[in-house]
Each structure stands twice: as C-alpha cells, then as structure tokens.
Amino acid sequence: MGEHDPDEVERAFRHLWRVGPVGEDWGAQADLYTDDAVYIDHYYGRKTPAEFRTWCTQLMNDEFPELYTVYEWHVVDGNRVVVHMQNRRDNPEPGGRPFDFPGITVYAYAGGGLWSYEMDYWGMAAATAAGRAYRDAAARFDAGHPQRRSRRNWPTDPAWAHP
C-alpha cells in the first residue's frame, strides 16, 4: 500500500474523530475500518472491527458512561496518524476540575476514508487514580452523575474536535 495524500489522511482523521470520540457513535466508527483491520488496546487486547463495535459500545455506554475523549494534538506521518488525548470525566463537584488521564492512539490509513489499524495506549495507574477520584467525588456530590453523561469540558480549539 502506497502513501496517501496527506490532505486525504487529515480529512479522514478529522472525520473519524468527529464520528467516534466527539459523536460517540462507536458503531459508526467501526464502519470506518477495513474488514481486515486490527484494533489493539494495550489492556483489553486485539479486536476485529465487529468485536470493536460491540466492545466499545458496551464499554463507553454501560461501563463508563461518564468518560469522554478530549483532543490535544495529532500528527500525520505518511499513512499514520498519532493523536494525543485526555480521557476525561467532568467533576461532580461544582467548580471542580475534570478528572483526566492521558492516552495516545496510532491509526493507519488504508484509503477511501477507511482505517486498517488502531492501537490505543494509556496508563492503568493514571486511569485507576482518575476513576477512583471521580467515583469519590460522585459519592460526595452527585451519585447519579455517571448516567448524566456530562460533557462540559471540551477543548475550544480546533472546532472539529468538539460538538
């Protein structure tokens, strides 16, 4: 597979980001992978696009409904895109800072708007600490906060990286 035009890769990445992390439509994000794509999460393991669709929808809607993905930066290098983000939970305490833990994702672009590879990296210790702090704050200030799926702390820039 040859290199694709960098502008095409950039457009495809922005589309994927708006569909998945911003729009939280994990099934539609899975539709942006080739049939033979490889998805790897360093903790949860390797998944096919069909497995990703089911797993990610369940993980983000049922297990961690309060968690959302906040863009920080990305770089296009040939067919690869590397993106840095914060995995964020809004703080149930009025005026409190959000609870974040960082992540890095590497994508490989296959052409035609489709992706052949995604690998997600994040640190278990940071994720556990952020989750614990969030649960403690929810217990103190708003036990129903996770189901409200608040999304108050998106970046202001770039415009395509938030609703």
Instruction: Convert the pLDDT of each residue in 144-162 to its tens digit.
Output: 999 999 999 999 999 999 9
**Residue-wise over 15-31: b if at least 16 C-beta within 10 A, else e?**
ebbbbbbbebebeebbe
Provide DSSP, 98-127.
Answer: PEEEEEEEEEEEEETTEEEEEEEEE-HHHH
| 92-133 pLDDT per residue, tens | 999 999 999 999 999 999 999 999 999 999 999 999 999 999
40 contacts: CB under 8 Å, gap ≥ 6? 46, 47, 118, 119, 120
Mean pLDDT of the region 50-59 = 91
Residue from 99, 86, 101 nearest 136 by CA: 99
Residue 1 token pair: 């597979």
pTM above 0.85, yes or no: yes
| Domain map (residue ranges) of the chain | 6-152
Spatial distance between the Cα atoms of 146 and 156, rounded to a whole number of angstroms: 23
pLDDT band with cut points at 50, 70 and 90 for residue 1: low
pLDDT at 115: 98
Q: Which option is the CATH number for 6-152: 2.60.40.3500, 3.40.50.11740, 3.10.450.50, 2.60.20.30?
A: 3.10.450.50
Check pLDDT > 90 for residue 74: yes
